[in-house]
A = this chain, B = another copy of it.
Amino acid sequence: VFSIGEFSRITGLTVKTLRFYHEQGLLVPSCVDEGSGYRYYDPSKIETARVIAFLRGLDFPLDEIGRILRDAGDDADLLDVMERRRGEILATIRRQREVVRSLDELLSREKEARRLMANATFEVGETVVSPLRIAGVRMRGKYSQCGEGFARIGRRFGRHIAGKPMMLHHEAEYRDEDADYEACMPVRAGEAADGITVRELPGGRCVTLMHKGPYDDMGRSYAKILGYIRQKGYEVVLPTREVYLKGPGMIFRGNPRNYLTEIQMLVRDEGSQAVLKG
């Protein structure tokens, strides 16, 4: 026979655990000294201990293990129990996998944002943009209310969304109140519905400037890009665009000082219908 300490070393179960299993009636010592209360286990208990450890490894609760041990005689439904457990484990694996997938998305978005941040130049530049299919909600009021528009598009288009949120400014001037703007997002597919229009934004020659920092600080960046356009003698084609490369996110709320917004202004080199003369 073994003392509890020896038995613990043999089975790999802690002394505390063995006492607990005794208390629960799961693994009762072969004899208990009346005077000292010492527990003694004989070798036949080793297998029971192993079975319990194995089933605990399958995350069976102790009371179920007790039941299994008790009617080990008819193993008829033991097969069922095991197969049910197997199914449950597979189900949790599937859930975990889903979780990992959503984490991966989160992480890749965040890393992309950091990459952008690292490579961004904060000087005015010129480029050519391609036509872009978007879903948009035309809004009137304060810019700060645009969130509602994005939310509506998000709910409606879900996983058809194919790029960063943008805002279109349909007026040349900046207004604090009663502005005419459009919250929109690039989409792969989906149809117009309740106030959301789907259409193609034209491509073309484009002057860009990256703005880093909070949104109410964009005046300086606008002054800078407009100065450049005036100097070059370009004409701005409305609407102008803001692309929100990194803003307050779901988890990584981030610091407004790290927000990253690209201002895009399509331009014509010359022409008569200039809306805003450079």
Contacts and interface: CB of A to CB of B under 8 A. Distances in A.
A73 B248 CA distance: 10
A99 interface: yes
A250 B72 CA distance: 11
A57 interface: yes
Contacts of A104: 86
A89 interface: yes
B58 A86 contact: no
Nearest to A47: B250
Contacts of A50: 250
B82 A255 contact: no
Interface of A: 47, 50-51, 54-55, 57-58, 68, 72-75, 78-79, 82-83, 85-86, 89-90, 92-93, 96-97, 99-100, 103-104, 106-107, 110-111, 250-255
Complex A-B, nearest 10 residue pairs according to Cβ-Cβ distance, in ascending order: A72-B253, A75-B252, A86-B103, A93-B96, A75-B254, A73-B255, A89-B96, A89-B100, A93-B93, A78-B252
21 contacts: A51-B251, A54-B250, A55-B251, A58-B103, A68-B251, A72-B253, A73-B253, A78-B251, A79-B110, A82-B107, A82-B251, A83-B107, A85-B103, A86-B103, A86-B104, A86-B107, A89-B99, A90-B100, A93-B93, A93-B96, A93-B100
